[in-house]
Amino acid sequence: MKGHIHILGICGTFMGGIALLARELGYRVTGSDASVYPPMSTQLRDAGIDLMEGYLPEHLASAPDCVVVGNAMTRGNPLVEHLLNSGLPYTSGPQWLAEHVLAGKWVLAVSGTHGKTTTSSMLAWILEYAGMTPGFLIGGVPGDFGVSARLGRSDFFVVEADEYDTAFFDKRSKFVHYRPRTLAINNLEFDHADIFDDLGAIQRQFHHLVRCVPEQGLIVHPHGVPAIDATLAMGCWTPVTSFGVGEESAAQWRAQLLTDDGSAFQVQPVSGEPVDVRWTHCGAHNVENALTAMAAARHVGVAPNISAAALSKFDGVKRRLELLGSPGEVAVYDDFAHHPTAIATTLEGLRARAGDGRVIALVEPRSNTMRMGEHRAQLAAASAAADKVYWFQPAGMDWSMESIVAQSPVPAAVVSDIGELVLQVAADAKAGDQLVVMSNGGFGGIHQKLLDKLQDKIPL
């Protein structure tokens, strides 16, 4: 046993991944979190990790060798205050990862406002399919692996590279710790209004990341995105390659849709013959994610035809347009979208797949940026591909979503009670409908409640 680490905020996707990696390295791992619940709690306990509910000073009574502090921890938290008073060694999750896992690895980092989890999962799966047994730390659970993190058995490590801040004592973005050799920047928009004042502040952090990529590395980015072009213009010392969808694209990696819903597309790599991808996923945004993963994989030696074969078997990621069930031929999906662009692209992809069926969206504005109202001007337009939208008004939000309904290009309603929302949606739903629940949280368990109510409608 290498020693004992205790993790604060252990049930978050990132910190839970840190816990799994530490356990695999041979550490004794314990952790505290305000909410200890499945699936992360199950994953951690199955790995032999002791979990403690809440943030009580006695959780550190065993005097661990190091405390790893999640970025949700703040001053005033009783366990944080006890940690500082105790003099115990502490570090952040990204710093621990950099020092104990990433050192000496070829790091492939996937960054950007949207699609990080899906693209990281695609990239890890491509490398796995190619026999490279990579390590990875992903902010979700890829269906092909069943866990969010592992050490792997090679020099390659895929990491989802988040721009959110590191810890209460380190306000740099998490990704500056990772020192990638291969960097993907999926896209770049304003988000995280609770810590960034504007897009320029986010671009500055991405510039810091770009400064760490070696001259022999590679940066993969979409062609013709002004926010990314401006960021790279701040200074770039690394070769770049671009991707884009459509015949008119001037990108080096190009994709042409073979079906309207993106379930089949042809990729023209930067060099060599085109390859076709046929898979179970949909949406132009997922085609872009695939291009990113293929270009990044090429940098470590995976040929495009191998990547295409891997993607044809890609099982997706939990909570990324994940089909939960179809009671009464009403499909119910769970999706993590919590930004206007993500909402729009997900709905457009589902609309193209749905045929004559209706697309009905249930949206919970749960992220800090959404609750602050920073995106309210874009939300109505983001729902245009749906046939109907239910906006959930959570308690304590300081702006009313009625303004979104007033601007909505499709029929819309605001509901402030989850039970009532379930009743309304289930009563309205009919065979062939596609219901997509959009939230980056639990949404009050609405998914199972909706499935149960739809099941109750089926005649015996």
Of 311, 337, 364, the residue at which a domain comes to its end is 311
pLDDT in tens, 417-444: 888 888 888 888 888 898 989 887 778 7
Least confident of 194-208, 288-302, 368-382: 368-382
User: pLDDT per residue over 324-367, tens digit each?
Assistant: 888 888 888 888 776 787 788 788 878 877 777 899 888 888 66
Q: Same structural domain for residues 150 and 248?
A: yes
At 238, list the tokens: 């690394």
* pLDDT value for 312: 94
Confirm whether 317 is domain-assigned: no
Same domain, 178 and 132: yes
Within this chain, do residues 446 and 334 fall inside the same structural domain, yes or no?
yes
The yes-or-no verdict on residue 1 having pLDDT over 70 is: no
300 plus 158 within the same structural domain: yes
* β-strand pairing of 149-150 with 135-137: antiparallel
Q: What is the pLDDT of residue 192?
A: 63
**Are 281 and 344 part of one and the same domain?**
no
pLDDT tier at 195 (50, 70, 90 boundaries)? confident
Q: What pLDDT was estimated at residue 198?
A: 82
CATH number of the domain within which 70 lies: 3.40.50.720
What radius of gyration, in Å, describes the C-alpha atoms of the chain?
A: 22
Q: Is 367 part of a structural domain of the chain?
A: yes
* Shared-domain flag, residues 211 and 233: yes
Give residue 244's pLDDT.
93
- Report yes or no on 40 lying in a domain: yes
Does residue 373 have a pLDDT over 60?
A: no
Same-domain check for residues 83 and 131: no
Q: Does residue 112 belong to any structural domain of this protein?
A: yes
Average pLDDT for the chain: 89
CA 149 to chain centre: 14
Residue-wise pLDDT tens digits, 42-84: 889 999 999 999 999 999 999 999 999 999 999 999 999 999 9
Report whether pLDDT(249) > 80: no
Q: Identify whether 147 is part of a domain.
A: yes
CATH code for the domain of 435 = 3.90.190.20
Own/partner pairs, 46-52, CB within 8 angstroms, 24+ separation: 47/19, 47/20, 47/23, 48/23, 49/10, 49/19, 49/20, 49/23, 51/10, 51/11
Q: Respond yes or no on whether the N-terminal peptide bond of residue 340 is cis (omega within 30° of 0).
A: no
Q: Are residues 330 and 299 in the same domain?
A: no
pLDDT value at position 66?
Answer: 97
For position 338, what pLDDT does the model report? 66
Which pLDDT value is given to residue 231? 96
**Residue 292: both structure tokens together:** 């990113």
Q: What is the pTM of this model?
A: 0.83
pLDDT of 368 higher than 80: no
Q: Total structural domains in the chain?
A: 3
Residue 38 C-alpha from the chain's centroid: 18
Confidence (pLDDT) at 35: 81
Query: Encoding tokens for residue 420?
Result: 């009532």
| Same domain flag for 296 and 186 | yes
Q: Answer whether residue 189 shows pLDDT above 90.
A: no
Residue range 81-128, pLDDT digits in tens: 999 999 999 999 999 999 999 999 999 999 998 889 999 999 999 999
Secondary structure of the chain as H, E, C letters: CCCEEEEECCCCHHHHHHHHHHHHHCCEEEEEECCCCCCHHHHHHHCCCEEEECCCHHHHCCCCCEEEECCCCCCCCHHHHHHHHHCCCEEEHHHHHHHHHHCCCEEEEEECCCCHHHHHHHHHHHHHHCCCCCEEECCCCECCCCCCEECCCCCEEEEECCCCEEECCEEEEHHHHCCCCEEEECCCCCCCCCCCCCHHHHHHHHHHHHCCCCCCCEEEEECCCHHHHHHHHCCCCCCEEEEEECCCCCCCEEEEECCCCCCEEEEECCCCCCEEEECCCCCHHHHHHHHHHHHHHHHCCCCHHHHHHHHCCCCCECCCCEEEECHHHCEEEEECCCCHHHHHHHHHHHHHHHCCCCEEEEECCCCHHHHCCCCHHHHHHHCCCCCEEEEECCCCCCCCCHHHHHHCCCCEEEECCHHHHHHHHHHHCCCCCEEEEECCCCHHHHHHHHHHHHHHHCCC
pLDDT at 404: 81
Do the domain assignments include residue 77?
A: yes
What is the C-alpha separation between 396 and 412, in angstroms, rounded? 21
**326 with 265, same domain?**
no
Give the pLDDT band (50/70/90) at residue 233. Answer: very high
Condensed to tens digits (0 to 9), the pLDDT of residues 18-51 reads 999 999 999 999 999 998 777 778 889 999 999 9
End-to-end CA distance of the chain: 57
What is the span of the domain harbouring residue 42? 4-91
Instruction: Tell which of 28, 57, 91 closes a domain.
Output: 91
Shared-domain flag, residues 265 and 240:
yes
Q: Read off the pLDDT of residues 274-293 as tens digits, 9 standing for 90 and up.
A: 999 999 887 888 999 999 99
pLDDT band at 460 (very low <50, low <70, confident <90, very high): low
Give the end of a domain, one of 271, 286, 311: 311
Task: Report pLDDT for 193.
Answer: 64
Q: What is the pLDDT of residue 252?
A: 94
Same-domain pairing of 219 and 293: yes
Task: Confirm whether 210 is domain-assigned.
Answer: yes
Q: Is residue 99 part of a domain?
A: no
